[in-house]
Structure 1
Amino acid sequence: MSINTASTPAVVGSSRDAPASAPHRPPRRAAWAGVVSLGLGIFTLVASEFLPASLLSPIAADLGISEGTAGQLVTATSVIGIIGGPLVVSALPRIDRRWVMVALTALAVLSNVLVSIAPVFGLMLASRLLLGLAISGFWAMSLAVTAQLVPADRLGRAMTIVNMGVSLATIAAVPAGAFLGELVGWRTVFLGAAAAGIVALVVQLLTLPSVPPTGAPGFRTLVRTAARPVVALGVLAIVLIAGGHFIGFTYLRPAFEEIGGASPAALAMLLAVFGVASFAGNLVAGPIADRRLGVLVIGAPTAIGAATVLYALAGANPVAAAIAVVVWGAGFGAIPTMVQTWMARVAPDRLESSGGLVVAAFQIAITVGAAVGGLLVDSVGVQAAFLGGGVAAVLGAVVLTAAKAR
């Protein structure tokens, strides 16, 4: 399969499956303002997703439930994400994508408001399902929308801006939620998240231009896209790479506690270092993806694999563990931009469907990775989880390279 990386993403394919002509792009400044608005939207959505992780104790105490039950508020958004992205792409085939993104942001605002006033856990859980749908749909559509705003040879840079929202939210949401929860109460924190969503909504209305849908509509197109061998291999590779990351990352704390002299403060510092390294990895991923995508396809997953193995073997050496976390964070920070750019190259006529499949693959990876990691930790030991995760990540890079070669 020959890929012209400088072509416009949405014009390849049969006349039945793709638009007849390239989309008309807005002026450059307006286009990049729209890209920034998508990044801001992603930031507010992902920050809302992570907030309960820092507020479980007060939520549980207020509602009279266990902290384990309260933790399902986080799980719910991930589970719905497996079907949410493909569902939004398939169910809204002909609506201007500007209004789809605005509506999904509004849905997240509604979710946070409902959580802030929910008198019982059931209503709160249902509200979080709405957020999961908003996040997965917004992220799934972001690739196709961004590809219509910027030239194809700038798509990697543009997706870096969009995914910067994920990196910033990962770094800031949990500590900010914990601090503000103590200061003003957990319900007010969710109202604040709703206010941030309104800001993102207004910015989108002011900057995001009209974006027509791309490709053939409906669920059938999604199935046909998933049935393409190169796309199916890409989805498998994403599950392996991201799943390998979560096999180890989910059990970072018990592994770190095996290092002599480890303390909760040191663990917090280690997680902060991971977040900063992840942000840096995302920043450099865009230009590399635009110019040397093959290098990034091999380099980022290999960095995860090497880092997890080093972390597993660090033993009582906190310096080695810190180095491993820096490399690991940088590698994983590059993954979202890398896989989205890769999908745009191999399926330029099916950007919306492939975007939905990417989101579903990430959510499957989170669920499966945590489960497999738990089995390895319980049956063999925490080192086995890290070694297994490293092997899976490198194997994913091999699959992705082989798929591109086809």
Structure 2
Amino acid sequence: MSDVAESGHAVTGEARHQPAQWSGVFAMTLCVFALVASEFLPVSLLTPIAGDLGVSEGLAGYGIAISGAFAVLASLSIARLAGNMDRKLLLLLLTGLMGVSGLIVGLAPNYQAYLLGRALIGVVVGGFWSMSAAVAMRLVPAASVARALAVFNGGNALATVVAAPLGSYLGGTVGWRGAFLCLVPVSLLALAWQWISLPTMKAAPRPAAGGGHVFSLLKQPLVVSGMLAVGAFFMGQFVLFTYVRPFLETVTRVDFSTLSMVLLVIGIAGLLGTMLIGTLLQWSMYRTLALIPLLMAVIALALTVAGGWLPAVFVLLGLWGLMATAAPTGWWSWLAKALPRDAEAGGGLMVATVQLCIALGSVIGGMLFDGIGYRATLIASAALLLLASLLAWRTMRTQASISEISIRFKSGSRT
């Protein structure tokens, strides 16, 4: 994603003249893997977490909501709060905080301590994602930036694939607390590796752009339309996905091994989706962005009817994973094309939008799941995804209008 404080410094002179620091890139990739796994581990562990802490599954799901809320706050404030701090030191502090979060959650004596640990991981998510890509760009020469970012984002994709099935497996073997504690040594390894491999990285000399620059992008109709579409997509996705384990256990009535298999299918399908999405985006970026949430809405509605039939659930959730994991790549491609001169500030705004809507989606899903039932949760997810599809189509029309005006303006200038 991006460091708003270093907007315009995506590839600095420092990066051009230093040799490539590939060990630092891989160290950050390991940190991303642990971070994303930590963020979404509760998805596959809601039932045991709720039972052990004496709360409902909906309240346990709020652990994802609170991490999203704190990620929003951190993403919008981390650059200003960090000031001139060495970016290496800041990364190390955030990585250490991730390990502390795992300890607090794994040893939580009550629900309040669990929420505290989840809030801390939210701070890490927002802070790390808001600055890490710009830091990675400073680790390699300009010609290698694309490759470095591809390696870096591989940690995100891998964690997305394995987090749910790995969490389910560890929860069944060492318990949900053990699953969180297993991430602590991974965090320590990432901390040590970054300490050794990352060079000193002073903050950019120019003043931070700050939140005002980020929010000034909302004056552009294209940005507003796109961010609304992104928000509706992530909200609709997590209304359903946060409570996929309770759905499988109470509606489909799967056992532990089958649950792990379903979650693994979702992850493998998601990895396949990330490999296919590039071809679809070349075909038509906006049509792809509109079609994905539309098909996911159909899947959510189909689950209200076929949720008790295991073969159908396997297929439907596999298709869900195929599209849900690939869609964010499409929206980041849109951002790069829509805001080529403000990609860093736009990235900060995207982080805040995504995390806020993940939090809202988890809360809405929990309220509906506890208060009305699983069908209400699925229908709400479908409605939000349908809205995301319509907003993506509207974004396409907005882009077309802007392009038409630009062409007319250029033609008028020539005459």
TM over 0.5: yes
| Structure 1, 121-130 or 27-36: larger mean CA deviation | 27-36
User: Is 1:219 aligned to 2:211, yes or no?
Assistant: yes
Which letter does structure 1 place at the counterpart of 2:66? A
User: Is 1:242 aligned to 2:237, yes or no?
Assistant: no
C-alpha spacing 1:308/1:238, structure 2 compared with 1 (3 Å): same
Distance 2:294 2:22 in 1: 34
C-alpha spacing 1:277/1:176, structure 2 compared with 1 (3 Å): closer
Which residue does 1:331 correspond to in 2? Answer: 323
User: Is 1:272 aligned to 2:226, yes or no?
Assistant: no
**Equivalences for 1:92-241 in 2 at 5 Å?**
92-148=82-138, 159-181=149-171, 183-184=173-174, 186-209=176-199, 216-217=207-208, 218-241=210-233
| Structure 1, 229-238 or 78-87: larger mean CA deviation | 229-238
Which ranges in structure 2 are unaligned for 5 or more consecutive residues? 403-415
Contact 1:309/1:386, CA 8 A, preserved across alignment = no
Percentage of pairs with the same residue: 32
Which residue does 1:398 correspond to in 2? Answer: 393
Deviation at 1:147, TM superposition (A): 4.7
Which residue does 1:5 correspond to in 2? Answer: none
Distance 1:66 1:370 in 2: 14
C-alpha spacing 1:295/1:199, structure 2 compared with 1 (3 Å): farther
Distance 2:186 2:151 in 1: 18
Which letter does structure 2 place at the counterpart of 1:304? P
**Per-residue CA distance 1:130-164 (angstroms, 9 max, x = gap):** 11100122122234334555788987765554343
Distance 1:271 1:243 in 2: 20
| Structure 1, 19-28 or 86-95: larger mean CA deviation | 19-28
C-alpha spacing 1:52/1:239, structure 2 compared with 1 (3 Å): closer
**Per-residue CA distance 1:215-269 (angstroms, 9 max, x = gap):** 751333333344444433332221122223334445657887999xx44155654
SS at match of 2:284: helix
CA root-mean-square deviation: 4.3
Which letter does structure 1 place at the counterpart of 2:235? G
Q: How many residues align?
A: 388
Which ranges in structure 1 are unaligned for 5 or more consecutive residues? 1-8, 11-15
Distance 1:152 1:288 in 2: 26
Which residue does 2:294 correspond to in 1? Answer: 305
C-alpha spacing 1:345/1:137, structure 2 compared with 1 (3 Å): farther
Deviation at 1:197, TM superposition (A): 0.5
C-alpha spacing 1:234/1:39, structure 2 compared with 1 (3 Å): farther
TM-score w.r.t. the length of structure 2 is: 0.74
Deviation at 1:333, TM superposition (A): 1.4
Distance 1:387 1:164 in 2: 29
**Per-residue CA distance 1:277-332 (angstroms, 9 max, x = gap):** 112223444x559xx56734432541332243155247447666544433432222
TM-score w.r.t. the length of structure 1 is: 0.75
User: Is 1:385 aligned to 2:380, yes or no?
Assistant: yes
C-alpha spacing 1:383/1:70, structure 2 compared with 1 (3 Å): closer
